[in-house]
Structure 1
Amino acid sequence: MSSSESLATALARAGSPVELLRNLAFPPSTFPVQPEFTNWRTESRSWLETCALLDQSHHMTDLFVEGPDALQLFSDLGVNSFAAFGPGKAKQFVAVAPDGHLIGDAILFHLEEGSFDLVGHPMVIDWVTFHLERGDHDATAVRDDNSIVRRSGPPRLYRYELQGPTAAAIVEQATGAPAPDVKFFNMTGFTIAGKEVRGLRHGMAGQPGFELFGPWEDGEAVLAALLEAGADHGLVRVGAKAYSTTNLGSGWVPAPLPAIFGDDPLLAEYREWLPLSKVGSLGGSLDSADIADYQLTPHDIGYGKTIKFDHDFVGREALERTAQTTPSRTKVTLVWDADDVTTAVGSSYRPGPGAKYIEMPKARYATHHEDQVLKDGEQVGVSLDCGYLANERQMVSLATVDTALAQPGTEVTVIWGERPVSAKPAVEEHEQVRIRAVVAPCPYDARDTYRAR
């Protein structure tokens, strides 16, 4: 298998998208930063009690797009409205395929007039790059891959996240000025350690804070100033393990399978363009030969409110056809039964093969993870991302389930493990197990507890 082989060529060889993706020997996504500074359980407390500092400089891809038609490029591809999207703002950019199924999402920063930074996992960034290269938009792009993929040198930008009750106090001490009153997903400017810093008003795991970023060469000085200011306010450096669970509390599904396998000629062209090396693996108990069964709509994972029909974009007609209907599925949190999880983990200490290994704190073992969710023996949804929330002491997953079953307290069952066992290196010989779960709100409200009876 060549790293330059196109997805189209690999599909022809494998015979089907499911067969190809379930057996890809690519490792699951990782966070290329220090795993722990103390331990991930203690670090997880910081964004609730004081303030967490998370280094986001290395694990996402940046696509810097500039030019007179840069905004038009994003408008042509995004389901979002761009009518009031001026410099100093950011938004969750969502793109779909011609049939209305999800390609992916990322955060789009409008830096200056005609200047943007699209930050996220590669799926939607590849989609935007493809359209820029094949179209006639008067714009240019520079890609800065994450630190696992980047061939040389550091990132172009440092990016530090401050989240928690004392985040504003730390910003005030580091800047020597009152924390500005900035609306959510709007940007402002700071001066820290004599360096000009951009700050995005942001929230993570339900907590207030800022995302601070600037030129890489300024990063060490800014970090030192934040750590010094944070010493008086309980600042805790958080490593990759704890950080990997924050999306579970905030309800963000990080890597839905992009809907790039349809019959539309645009998608056929895209598969010829896209290298196989940029395609992620597929894992979980969902076992269908039809790749369409793994695809999601924006409504499935809570992006319906993002869709605005005030502009033309790829997939608009398909989404318009469903705009007046009640979504068939709704995004929820599933709280896994503690006894069933304990039994599955305990099988590692008995004669095998036992249950598929459940890694802590993040249990996802493929790029795109999809487990069956059952009710009375019938599939009623898909569990998409799973892990352990140390503050709640619960194993949970983000899922999309039939809307009629989305009421908190509804009991369902998650099937954990693959059958047949795939050839992915992260998958050992194992047996499937059933884990009871209870539907809870998404984002998850940690003040309430939902447990299987």
Structure 2
Amino acid sequence: MNLQSILESADSPLGYLRSDKTHRHTNRAWDPKLIMPQLPYEFTDWEREQLAWRDTVALLDQSHHMQAVIISGRDAKTFLTYMACNNLTNAHPGRAFQIICASPDGYLVGDGILLQQDENTFAAVGPYLLNWLSYHAETLGFDVTATVDPRSPVYANGHGNRRPACRYQIQGPNAWALIEKLNGGSVADVPFFHLTEITVAGHRMEGLRHGMAGAPGLEIWGPWEARDEIRGTILEEGEEFGIVEVGAAAYVSSAVESGWVHTVLPAIYSGPELRGYREWMPSDEVEGLIRLTGSQERDCVSDYYRTPFDMGYGRLIHLDHEFIGRDALRARAGEAKLQKVTLAWDPDDTANLFREMLIRDGRNVKFLHLPTMSDKLDMQYFRVTANGKEVGTGHSSAYMAGERAMLTLSLLDESVRIGDEVLLHWGESGGGFGRYVTPATDIVPIRTTVSPAPYSRVAREEYRKI
């Protein structure tokens, strides 16, 4: 069954997206209840793991969940330039770029990281890019080949797996000291998103420079066969720096603190121009397992789409080259845009939500998982209002131990300012089709303070109610 046929089996694309997916047991590599394969929910406790990338040094194992699509061939760069809204003319081996892809009508399909491995080979990592790039590599007539490097099984059940490389991320204020200790000498602090090399346990590894919580760090990859030795050496040498392994719960919460909105519906579920794409895609890909959740209720699936401008990518969009969606984005360039912010929850309202969860005959509230909804393939869309007027949507939510705050990444109207107080409507509007209806809950308004993304605390005296 393909994505198009399973959408047609529901009353509408929106009915399917709102439906309960727990009956889908045909693909164990993409079980809808789990998203972090072969990684414990927590190694110690998630709050200690969250604090590590702020206070000491954190080790994040990316060996199993980060799948990629390898684009190779004579036309690789030309093809990717046609697929990307942003400018890739300066792409060259040894450097990574963000890649942003739009639908023909100018809505976001997905964004991620593009790494040029050699003159005619690129690796792209990011939600919804794998199928999008693979399909167009097959159908557009460019001299390219797309090869997917799949992630490990979520539910291994005794099945082995093998990947081209192991991958680890070393982050936190003590990260660079540990990296140089592992290397046996200094490592040049290359610019952001540039590549370097280090040696770990005698194994030469490539490293991508980026950072978390304002400190430089590396994402390193090397031989799969040596993964246990590499990981063991990092942990042993990292003891003096306070190294902590990060499990699935804390790992997923990092996106909220760092300001990466990854829970926006890819713009692929409607429109005749993408019917061929939906017919090409098997229904058990992640695009077919998404469940649209939250209090925001719309009549049309396209109302949940967002443009690259809405995501804050306007400065990266280059309209001077031909790419999918260019004409639509040019027409939308002057439209009102959303802004990416973080909503900091009011402590009293948050405590009252927990109180309802503990009362036998309390309100039927949507339960709040801590630190985050890290075990679901949910696309969360919560209504955000000010003075009774809807001003945007709340997306990923997480409790961050370092801030002692509950936070929600949001996309709000440009009229809303940092320091304003707005209401996040926490709850589930429900929906679905046939036997697969997601039950609705009561909707609970939570007072929140509009804060920057990436998050930084707004002083209490700066709060403004609107």
Shorter chain as denominator, the TM-score bin is: over 0.9
Offset from partner CA, 1:279-313 (integer Å, 9 cap, x none) = 21211111112111111111112111221124211
Looking at structure 1, the residues matched to 240 and 185 of structure 2 have their Cα atoms a distance apart, in angstroms, of: 16
Counting only pairs closer than 5 Å after superposition, residues 22-421 of structure 1 correspond to structure 2 as 22-26=18-22, 27-28=32-33, 30-32=35-37, 33-121=39-127, 123-148=128-153, 152-265=160-273, 267-278=274-285, 279=287, 280-323=290-333, 325=334, 327-350=336-359, 351-363=361-373, 365-405=376-416, 407-420=417-430
Q: Alpha-carbon deviation of 1:96?
A: 0.4
Which segment drifts farther, 23-32 or 210-219? Answer: 23-32
Number of residue pairs aligned between Structure 1 and Structure 2: 445
Deviation of 1:30 (Å): 2.1
Aligned to 2:26: none
Is the contact made by 2:19 and 2:438 (CA closer than 8 Å) also made in structure 1? no
Q: Is the 1:162–1:209 Cα contact (8 Å) retained in structure 2?
A: yes
Mark the CA change 1:380 to 1:296 in structure 2 (over 3 Å): closer, same or farther.
same
Name which of structure 1's ranges 197-206 and 255-264 shifts more when overlaid on structure 2: 255-264
CA distance in 1, matches of 2:43, 2:281: 37
Q: Specify the SS of the correspondent of 1:153.
A: coil
Separation of aligned partners in 1, 2:314 and 2:119:
28
- C-alpha separation in 2, matches of 1:169 and 1:116: 31
Q: Classify the secondary structure of the residue corresponding to 2:415.
A: helix
Secondary structure at 2:123 match in 1 = strand
Cα distance in 1, alignment partners of residues 446 and 223 from structure 2: 46
For residue 445 of structure 1, report the CA deviation from its aligned partner. 1.7
Query: Cα distance, 1:134 vs. partner?
Result: 1.1
Question: Comparing 275-284 with 364-373, which one deviates more in the overlay?
Answer: 364-373
- 2:7 counterpart (6, 11, 16): 11
**How many angstroms apart in 2 are the aligned matches of 1:452 and 1:239?**
37
Query: Is this contact kept in 2: 1:206–1:250, CA < 8 A?
Result: no
8 Å CA contact 1:356–1:428 kept in 2: the answer is no
d(CA) in 1 for partners of 2:76, 2:136: 12
Change (3 A) 1:452 1:428: farther
Identity %, equivalent residues: 37
Q: Give the alignment's TM-score, normalised by structure 1.
A: 0.93
Q: After TM superposition, give the deviation of residue 192 of structure 1 in Å.
A: 1.6
The secondary structure found in structure 2 opposite 1:301 is: coil
In structure 1, C-alpha distance between the alignment counterparts of 2:162 and 2:452, rounded to whole Å = 39
1:241, distance to aligned residue in structure 2 (A): 1.1
What is the identity, as a one-letter code, of the residue corresponding to 1:6?
Answer: N
Distance of aligned partners of 1:309 and 1:252 in 2 relative to their CA distance in 1, 3 Å threshold: same
Do the aligned residues in 1 keep the contact of 2:430 with 2:437 (CA within 8 Å)?
no
Deviation of 1:57 after TM superposition, in Å, equals 1.2
Per-residue Cα deviation, 1:51-95 (whole angstroms, up to 9, x for no partner): 111101112221122211122221111112111110011112110
**Contact 1:437-1:451 within 8 A present in 2 as well:** no
Q: Unpaired runs of 5+ in structure 1?
A: none
Say what the alpha-carbon RMSD is for the aligned residues.
2.2
CA deviation profile, 1:306-365 (whole Å, cap 9, x unmatched) = 211242110111111233x26431111111112112111211211145311110001375
- 1:235-262, CA deviations, whole angstroms, 9 ceiling, x for partnerless residues? 1111111111111111001231001134
Taking a change above 3 Å as real, the CA distance of residues 245 and 426 of structure 1, as seen in their structure-2 partners, is farther
**Partners in 1 of 2:55 and 2:17 — Cα distance?**
41
- Aligned in 2, Cα 1:164/1:7: closer, same or farther, shift over 3 Å? same
Q: Given the two structures, how large is their TM-score scaled by the length of structure 2?
A: 0.90
For 1:289 and 1:146, the matched residues in 2 are separated by 35
Q: Could you tell me how far 1:11 is from its partner in structure 2?
A: 2.1
Distance 1:29 1:328, change over 3 A: farther
Which residue identity is paired with 1:11? L
Shift of 1:187: 0.5
Alpha-carbon deviation of 1:144?
2.1
Distance 2:234 2:138 in 1: 40
* Amino acid corresponding to residue 344 of structure 1 in structure 2: L
| CA–CA distance in structure 2, aligned partners of residues 84 and 153 of structure 1 | 36
Between the aligned partners of 2:358 and 2:229, the Cα distance in structure 1 is 48
Q: Aligned to 1:321, what secondary structure does the other structure show?
A: helix
Amino acid at match of 2:147: V
